[in-house]
Chain A
């Protein structure tokens, strides 16, 4: 199937509420980029992005193509051209145009590194986790230029299964989009933590449906500066009894950046004892930056706990003075406080190496937006 060449072909809604904070116009530059002949490209160097002590399969992709790097990548399978059901324009595009479909098998930690070198790249990732099993994946997106990386994720988590995803969006410039669709059976868990920085434009959509006692946590940090535009559009739907969910996002925005979060919690009729929480905090480094936060609740059960809090603020002046009074110069004090602010979103990461890597990603990103 031929790749789209014009922004209008992509089928993005024009006046849809869920799209009003996204600006994906930079995709056009990626569509214009002529298809590259990658035959003579040097092999990408993944070493700067590795996670210490990671011993599972490492999958390297360049512009959406799988680069076979020797040993069979464990239980991961990659196959050409597959089709997923339609699920919004981004997901449909990924399913239609992805060169491979990646299916992670349970039991291993997988690290997927995608290098964008220009043009459009579509990835179709499937995390089908059988009952009682666990899938852990780290996805690292790097590269840059006039590129558009579009990722679709399908997570089907069986009874008491666990899917854990860490997503590092470190691509220098270009557009990065993802659409996550998840279905969680009884007592299943889906947890993701995202570190979003560097790309010119980002849109992350997720729609998760939870059965009885299922638990979903979608957390992340956005670090936006310059004229970056980041948009998170989330929907967590509780259909079973006793489900829990959390969405914790920390945003730092400086210069003329715009970072938005719209998180919807739906509690279906009969989904009693649901406990859903949204915790969104943003830090404005400059008055010229924009942060949008929109929680939305749609509740059709009466015995539920749904909490949401959204705050936008600046660095605490009392804390800044306290640090200064102890001899810490103001630039260093600001760094300490800003890092502490974003680190909040990584607290839940159990793997210490991964937590450190995310912390280092955040520090590097913060260094760039100041």
Chain B
């Protein structure tokens, strides 16, 4: 699904990702854990194609397609979804309009039919409910007046509607109380599929108690310093990042 090979990336002139390789097979859930400032969000932005995040070396492919030759919206249409650590507020663009525009833009770009207004509303309503957001939230400006937790759940609604092949979820668990964390975890588990993969970027073990990852990678100073099975999370919790450095 996702193959990253010897990735180097800079912000401004500052190298942040320094030779990162990762292989995420179809249907698997991997977690990237790492201390603050280790480059987790930078990695997600580089993969999504945010301006200002410059790839200086290495490759990344999604189902064999070179991500770095695609514009951000093309990567989304190719099946990449990035759940942002800090979702953006967009006053004046309703959540529903945003979602329908996004969904139809992706479908059009893949040569598929656009979704009918009725079908869209039905799914939007269902997914909003599944993630505990009201229709009022859906009609409001994107993330405007949402609490931190509501913003994260709104990212999940978007993921559920867009049905990506690969979901990068950047600290979707932070800022959630335990009930919201369960709602989010259920959503992820419900979407697990042999043809869909997840990369969960997280700071804490908490989310991984609810979503069992196939593998865990430790990111430190722009490199993966250790990889292992799910038991690595507990070890990290005990020993901290310093103790675990290889």
Do A and B come together as binding partners?
yes
The residue among B72, B75, B82 with the most chain A CB atoms within 10 A of its own CB is B72
**A318 interface hit (Cβ, 8 Å):** yes
**Among B82, B93, B105, contact of A337 (Cβ-Cβ < 8 Å):** B93
**B65 interface hit (Cβ, 8 Å):** no
A319 touching B88, Cβ below 8 Å: yes
**B218 interface hit (Cβ, 8 Å):** no
B77 touching A341, Cβ below 8 Å: no
Instruction: For the complex, give the distance between the alpha carbons of A324 and B70 in Å.
Output: 12
**A340 interface hit (Cβ, 8 Å):** yes
Contact (A343, B92) CB under 8 Å given A323-B102, A325-B48, A327-B105: yes
Instruction: For the complex, give the distance between the alpha carbons of A316 and B93 in Å.
Output: 13
B105 touching A332, Cβ below 8 Å: yes
Residues from chain B with a CB closer than 8 A to the CB of A330 are 71, 73
A355 CB to nearest chain B CB (Å) = 13
**B195 interface hit (Cβ, 8 Å):** no
Contact (A326, B102) CB under 8 Å given A336-B93, A340-B91: yes
Which residue of chain A has its CB nearest to the CB of B86?
A: A318
Mark out the residues of chain B between 74 and 96 whose CB falls within 8 Å of any chain A CB in the assembled complex.
75-77, 81-82, 84, 87-93
Which residue of chain B has its CB nearest to the CB of A344?
A: B92
B51 touching A328, Cβ below 8 Å: no
**A322 interface hit (Cβ, 8 Å):** yes
Instruction: For the complex, give the distance between the alpha carbons of A318 and B90 in Å.
Output: 9
Contact (A324, B93) CB under 8 Å given A317-B51, A318-B88, A330-B71: no
Contact (A325, B76) CB under 8 Å given A318-B88, A336-B101: yes
Instruction: For the complex, give the distance between the alpha carbons of A343 and B90 in Å.
Output: 13
The residue among B89, B99, B102 with the most chain A CB atoms within 10 A of its own CB is B102
**B204 interface hit (Cβ, 8 Å):** no
Contact (A328, B93) CB under 8 Å given A318-B88, A321-B50, A336-B101: no
**B106 interface hit (Cβ, 8 Å):** yes
Instruction: For the complex, give the distance between the alpha carbons of A210 and B99 in Å.
Output: 45
Instruction: For the complex, give the distance between the alpha carbons of A325 and B164 in Å.
Output: 12
Contact (A337, B90) CB under 8 Å given A327-B77, A327-B162: yes
Instruction: For the complex, give the distance between the alpha carbons of A98 and B77 in Å.
Output: 59
Instruction: For the complex, give the distance between the alpha carbons of A332 and B102 in Å.
Output: 10
Instruction: For the complex, give the distance between the alpha carbons of A318 and B45 in Å.
Output: 12
**B158 interface hit (Cβ, 8 Å):** yes
Residues from chain A with a CB closer than 8 A to the CB of B68 are none
**Among A324, A325, A340, contact of B90 (Cβ-Cβ < 8 Å):** A340
**A329 interface hit (Cβ, 8 Å):** yes
**B114 interface hit (Cβ, 8 Å):** no
Interface string of B128-162 (1 = CB under 8 A from A): 00000000000001100000000000000010001
Which residue of chain A has its CB nearest to the CB of B99?
A: A326
Residues from chain B with a CB closer than 8 A to the CB of A341 are 92
Residues from chain A with a CB closer than 8 A to the CB of B101 are 328, 332, 336
**Which of under 10, 10 to 19, 20 to 34, or 35 or more describes the interface residues of B?**
20 to 34
Mark out the residues of chain B between 32 and 64 whose CB falls within 8 Å of any chain A CB in the assembled complex.
48-51
Residues from chain B with a CB closer than 8 A to the CB of A332 are 101, 105
A327 touching B92, Cβ below 8 Å: no
Instruction: For the complex, give the distance between the alpha carbons of A59 and B198 in Å.
Output: 63
Mark out the residues of chain B between 98 and 123 whose CB falls within 8 Å of any chain A CB in the assembled complex.
98-99, 101-103, 105-106, 109
Mark out the residues of chain A between 26 and 78 whose CB falls within 8 Å of any chain B CB in the assembled complex.
none
Which residue of chain A has its CB nearest to the CB of B91?
A: A340
Contact (A327, B88) CB under 8 Å given A317-B51, A336-B93, A337-B93: no
Residues from chain A with a CB closer than 8 A to the CB of B158 are 326
B26 CB to nearest chain A CB (Å) = 21
B88 touching A326, Cβ below 8 Å: no
Residues from chain A with a CB closer than 8 A to the CB of B109 are 327, 329
B71 touching A325, Cβ below 8 Å: no
Instruction: For the complex, give the distance between the alpha carbons of A327 and B71 in Å.
Output: 9
B78 CB to nearest chain A CB (Å) = 9
Interface string of B149-183 (1 = CB under 8 A from A): 00000000010001000000000000000000000
A15 CB to nearest chain B CB (Å) = 40
Mark out the residues of chain A between 297 and 342 whose CB falls within 8 Å of any chain B CB in the assembled complex.
316-319, 321-330, 332-333, 336-337, 339-341
Residues from chain B with a CB closer than 8 A to the CB of A329 are 71, 73, 105, 109
Residues from chain A with a CB closer than 8 A to the CB of B162 are 326-327
Instruction: For the complex, give the distance between the alpha carbons of A321 and B162 in Å.
Output: 17
Which residue of chain B has its CB nearest to the CB of A340?
A: B92
Which residue of chain B has its CB nearest to the CB of A332?
A: B105
A328 touching B105, Cβ below 8 Å: yes
Residues from chain A with a CB closer than 8 A to the CB of B98 are 323, 326, 336
A66 CB to nearest chain B CB (Å) = 39
**Among B76, B81, B89, B97, contact of A324 (Cβ-Cβ < 8 Å):** B76
**Among B88, B93, B99, B105, contact of A340 (Cβ-Cβ < 8 Å):** B93
What are 19 A-B pairs with beta-carbon distances under 8 A?
A: A316-B88, A316-B90, A321-B51, A321-B88, A322-B88, A323-B98, A323-B102, A324-B71, A325-B81, A325-B84, A326-B106, A326-B162, A327-B162, A329-B71, A333-B73, A336-B101, A337-B90, A340-B91, A340-B141
- Given A326-B99, A339-B92, 9 extra CB contacts under 8 A: A316-B88, A323-B98, A324-B72, A325-B76, A325-B81, A326-B98, A326-B105, A327-B102, A337-B93
Task: List 9 A-B pairs, minimum CB-CB distance, nearest first.
Answer: A340-B92, A327-B76, A326-B102, A327-B106, A324-B72, A322-B88, A318-B88, A340-B93, A324-B73
Give the A-binding residues of B (Cβ under 8 A): 48-51, 71-73, 75-77, 81-82, 84, 87-93, 97-99, 101-103, 105-106, 109, 141-142, 158, 162
